[in-house]
Structure 1
């Protein structure tokens, strides 16, 4: 196994180091095309114990995500186009709001596709953690698109309340509502299923967004029913209700992106990591666990305490095993850096020179 760092002979016994699989030096005898492919593989999947398998898995996940986006984009654009034709023929504000929302939902595939594509690029000396954060930037674009669709739908609903107009082709409006629900529900199931399988929170969130759009499409049926019963005012009122529903989706999407940008994780993941580390032979105590999402991959930095009488080699072995356990047992974790500190002797402060430099 190759190591990330050279272990200098003047290291104190049992004082560990950051260690991350896949960032080490190429083994002797490995050169030419093999070395280049190896470096590319390590950059894409840094913790792999089998670089080629991990690289293939990462590329396959990105390819699946791109296929989902392409198919769902096509389905939603066709759905919205059909609805737009009926909007022009009927003048339904509720259906207009739903159509605008479906167009916006289809367009969210564009920034996500760009993010998946950019995220495949290997880490370099400027972007040392890679380009996975492109997914978070795509999330900001998605939030802006949802905001625009909500504002336009609300404007049209208020305008129609102030200037009521008769709705035509009520039956077609109802049919368009059903089409909108069917298209969104199919896309929602597809995005959520694949998003969970490849570990893309953004894709899962976009699938939940599509599901919400499906239910707002069903709300258009209320407007059509009101018009059929001689109450055309129901249509703009439903349009306002749809705008409010889009606002709730906007709130949830903005919160999700905010959490990602602030490196928030589910506390249960930290608990799981601590439990995994506690089962590793040689780990006396888990000092700290820090996790963050970079795109749809989870990264970890942990500090563990080991016996102060351990040799550097023995402490390194514990660190490697701790990293190995984390990568295999913590879902979606692709990179882990493990730092070992000596536990003892009593009264010893192995970080005394750093105390003044640490945050209070």
Structure 2
């Protein structure tokens, strides 16, 4: 169903990796959302005014808020497509998240406003004038919102837009709210049970709930989310696919919006290998990742000393001790600086996300174990934070 509309309204619709095509998808979704929601809002508010039904008017105002949301989404997609400039070298793609946050606040405000009106209606109920025609028109709006939800979700998944996915969830909630309105109207029409204020309150709660959900969805990437594990795995697989790579650590991924992902990693290579060859290797890896995954990738080359008896013995002792501390990972960046009176062992330990790590205890236990190996050993341990489990 979606491809039919995409083919008509979106040029080169299959090339979603192109930021321009992604922008067209967002514009299409925004314009369609504005059109559908304004039509629904006008019809429902008109019918609500004629029948005196607050719940119908509330549902119509909800559609109007959806239309304003689509306007903000449309503006967001336009602004986020602006090219990089001197003051914003990472681009403007995060504006899409910011506009989503703005519209979520608006939706929450509308929900509270309608909730207040519904409570007033509960306190002072009014006689409703409801006809089968009114019910019929409201029911007809349900397929429209289902269509909107499915299309927004489809586009959101296709172009990886949390804003459009959240809009789809909002449309789904509108369907549930509209069904609740219809139930209230049927009860009032058939059994003369006036639950209009209660139903209006339920609708307002759905609006608030939807706004809070949108707020969480859009605020999270602005605050900074953990990288997509699929992307992390793809980066690691490309790096480790090169036989001269020993390992990888300190992989970090920064997301500045769609098409604006920056990543870096420490790539471990044999210290005995020619430095120019190793440099050529990491350069090749950088280009491969950037081209295949469409991200900006840079790496740091970490030389690892192999087949050294002292370092092997030290590494075994550290790894054995660390097994008693599951909140930290295996050591990396291990360096051994040997002198006549004092030998320094320098390495990093990665802390698990959210773990309560007793760094002083770990340092004490590691030092004790290493000095049993050699009393002249002294450690310099850096505790790294894990961002990607690598």
Alignment TM class, shorter chain as reference: 0.7 to 0.9
**Residue 124 and residue 307 in structure 1: after superposition, are their counterparts in 2 closer, same or farther (change >3 A)?**
farther
- 1:197-230 Cα offsets, whole Å, 9 max, x none, are 2222212221222122122111111111111133
Distance 1:253 1:59 in 2: 25
Q: Does 1:297 align with 2:259?
A: yes
Distance 1:172 1:190 in 2: 28
Number of residues of Structure 1 aligned to a counterpart in Structure 2: 304
- Alpha-carbon RMSD across the aligned residues, in angstroms, is 3.0
Gaps of 5+ in 2: 1-14, 312-333, 338-345, 347-379, 386-390
**Larger relative contact order (C-alpha < 8 A, sep ≥ 6)?**
1
- The structural deviation recorded for 1:257 is 2.0
The list of structure 1 runs, each at least 4 consecutive aligned residues, that deviate by more than 6 angstroms after superposition, is 355-360
Please tell me whether the aligned partners of residues 79 and 179 of structure 1 are also in contact (alpha carbons under 8 angstroms). Answer: no
The equivalent position to 1:131 in structure 2, one of 92, 97, 100, is: 92
Instruction: Find the residue that maps to 2:335 and give its secondary structure.
Output: coil
- The structural deviation recorded for 1:107 is 1.1
Distance 1:173 1:194 in 2: 33
- The structural deviation recorded for 1:271 is 4.4
Distance 2:159 2:336 in 1: 44
The equivalent position to 1:315 in structure 2, one of 278, 289, 297, is: 278
Please tell me whether the aligned partners of residues 165 and 232 of structure 1 are also in contact (alpha carbons under 8 angstroms). Answer: no
Which has the larger strand fraction?
Answer: 2
Please tell me whether the aligned partners of residues 115 and 138 of structure 1 are also in contact (alpha carbons under 8 angstroms). Answer: yes
TM-score, reference length from structure 1: 0.75
In the other structure, the counterpart of 2:250 is 288
- The structural deviation recorded for 1:349 is 7.1
Distance 2:69 2:143 in 1: 19
- The structural deviation recorded for 1:273 is 3.8
**Residue 325 and residue 193 in structure 1: after superposition, are their counterparts in 2 closer, same or farther (change >3 A)?**
farther
In the other structure, the counterpart of 1:109 is 70
The equivalent position to 2:304 in structure 1, one of 343, 354, 357, is: 343
- 1:320-358 Cα offsets, whole Å, 9 max, x none, are 44345545665xx533333332223645379x8xx9999
Q: Does 1:251 align with 2:212?
A: yes
In the other structure, the counterpart of 2:42 is 81
Distance 1:349 1:301 in 2: 29
Instruction: Find the residue that maps to 2:90 and give its secondary structure.
Output: coil
- The structural deviation recorded for 1:130 is 0.5
Instruction: Find the residue that maps to 2:84 and give its secondary structure.
Output: coil
- 1:248-305 Cα offsets, whole Å, 9 max, x none, are 2223212212311121136533345434433343332221222233223361423122
- The structural deviation recorded for 1:71 is 1.6
TM-score, reference length from structure 2: 0.69
Q: State the structure with more CA Rg.
A: 2
Gaps of 5+ in 1: 1-53
Q: Does 1:188 align with 2:149?
A: yes
